[in-house]
Amino acid sequence: MRTEDADRVRTIATDRGLASYMDDTKWREVCALFRNQYRSPRFRVHDLLAISDNHVSEWDREWYYHPRPCNSIQWLEIELPPERVAQALAQCKAIGAAVEPTPAGLRIWGWVGAADRPQFA
């Protein structure tokens, strides 16, 4: 990520009172996990650099180049079949990811604010 984008992410996070829950290493490990062991499940992203505060990306499956840049991801939702959620949840927790189960599968939090109420597993 370019320096000016990184500065913008830090400014947005500070202005919104967000705390960082993930770093680049954890994001790389999470992406590698789902790309390699879960046959690239669908995902969508809520990004701090999005056009509006409530914008969520379309569902995507391309894990090699996306989701990027990771340091601006507020949350990443991953669609998984119910029988795979427990295993993926345990693997994400082993990485140290801030993760919670959702009706679609899992949500991994990069930034959390006071108004967010994640139910970390």
**pLDDT tens string for the chain (121 positions)?**
577 788 999 999 999 999 999 999 999 999 999 999 998 899 999 999 987 778 899 999 988 777 877 889 999 999 999 999 999 999 999 999 999 999 999 999 999 998 888 888 6
SS (H, E, C) the chain: CCHHHHHHHHHHHHHHCCEECCCHHHHHHHHHHHHHHCCCCCEEEEECCCCCCCCCCCCECCCCCCCCCHHHEEEEEEECCHHHHHHHHHHHHHHCCCEEECCCEEEEECEECCCCCCCCC
Structure pTM?
A: 0.90
